[in-house]
Amino acid sequence: MLRVRCLRGGSRGAEAAHLIGAMLGRAVTGWVQSAFQSSSSSAAAASAAQPHRAVEEDAVTEPAEHECPVCAYNEWDPLEEVIVGRAENARVPPFTVEVKANTYEKHWPFYQKYGGQTFPKDHLKKAVAEIEEMCNILRMEGVTVQRPELVDWSFEYKTPDFNSTGMYAAMPRDILMVVGNEIIEAPMAWRSRFFEYRAYRPLIKEYFRKGAKWTTAPKPTMADKLYDQDYPIRTVEDRHKLAAQGKFVTTEHEPCFDAADFIRAGRDLFVQRSQVQRPPGCIPDLFVQRSQVTNYMGIEWMRRHLAPDYKVHIISFKDPNPMHIDATFNIIGPGLVLSNPDRPCRQVEMFEKAGWNVVKPPTPLIPDDHPLWMSSKWLSMNVLMLDPGRVMVDANEHTIHKMFQNLGIKTIKVNIRHANSLGGGFHCWTTDVRRRGTLESYFN
């Protein structure tokens, strides 16, 4: 590395030449000392070697792409390493306007009573055990499993714009996305998740040291202007009406998005934000779709950041409460996508014209009395592909097992019903760090 800079010339070359001269001078001094002061030869040798060690420590290595510990281009290539979230210390988020807009009214009394407190302890204990078993099964399937740090989320924190307690580090899919050999930290919109990145920083720093790219999107202030404080939501009918009008709780005050609103298919990524009139500056050949946690500024930031190597397609669904895309439209293989029949994709023709098989999964079997405080029953389709021929799926969803069997895909059955209550299925509970594959284009 040092020689390359010297040959390039300029100020870097001069600095490198100066450093080499200094190294040679110190090395000669050490040699003279060792020749005439034999009693201290070992110390002199150490002194002579010291500059060489300093250069080694300062050198920046650039590993070849195949050596990078982080690499994923899609949702289905053979999975080699994954981050699995933690349910430990999870707390109910305070019942703020953005939380209200993302939850169903039947659960509002739960948030009003327990906001800022721990989730029910027995339920949480079972969720922790389920995720541990999930990790064990992933390891048995040959996948390296990493976990975020244990964090006490009970402490109240205050910024110049708001104060809140924390929530959890259960859903790495929401905050982290891998595109190629780059890890992107998402600027999430919930105040209770403002410091969630801290649980993942030790892992990300280690990946960075080993050669991965690391990008943090602009951190939102989460000031009051980011939210419609008078967001008029009372019933499901309100949700339908507001979504049809393109009105959501997050504004365009600053960029925000959850990584789970994006899904990858090689050079093409898809993101949701509700179909309305295009905002100023929106690319004319893209459809507009947004969710309660992802705004146009966030999507545009991602589009510019990933261009020109990747295209970001913005798609829409008939969904009264869009939050994350992976329980509505889940790409599970080259030319294969699960499309929620209750939330049809308005741009499905794009996939059909490209020869994709659009599969409608069966109605979920989860009982009505099972608490799903942050999600719908359609977590049944929130599956994790281990490779094109293996999928991790809910052990209780027998009808979806049959669907995958008909598609020629082996099901790895795991029970995480109590973990589902915290807001996610297998795809949500994970971020795939490394998949063995290459960058391809699946659309003309």
| Residue 387 annotated in active site | no
| Residue 165 and residue 119 in contact, taking contact as beta carbons nearer than 8 Å | no
Q: Give the amino acid at 200.
A: Y
SS3 assignment, position 57: helix
193 contact partners, CB below 8 Å, separation of at least 6 = 93, 166, 167, 174, 175
- CA angle (84 as vertex; 78, 87 as ends), nearest 5: 155
Residue 304 exposed, middle or buried by CB count within 10 Å (0-12, 13-18, 19+): exposed
| Residue 315 and residue 289 in contact, taking contact as beta carbons nearer than 8 Å | yes
Which DSSP state fits 323? -
Catalytic residue among 326, 427, 428, 432: 428
| Residue 253 annotated in active site | no
**CA nearest to 239, candidates 162, 158, 319, 359:** 319
Catalytic residue among 77, 174, 228, 258: 258
| Residue 258 annotated in active site | yes
Residue 175 exposed, middle or buried by CB count within 10 Å (0-12, 13-18, 19+): buried
Catalytic residue among 313, 324, 401, 418: 324
Which residues have a catalytic role annotated?
258, 324, 428
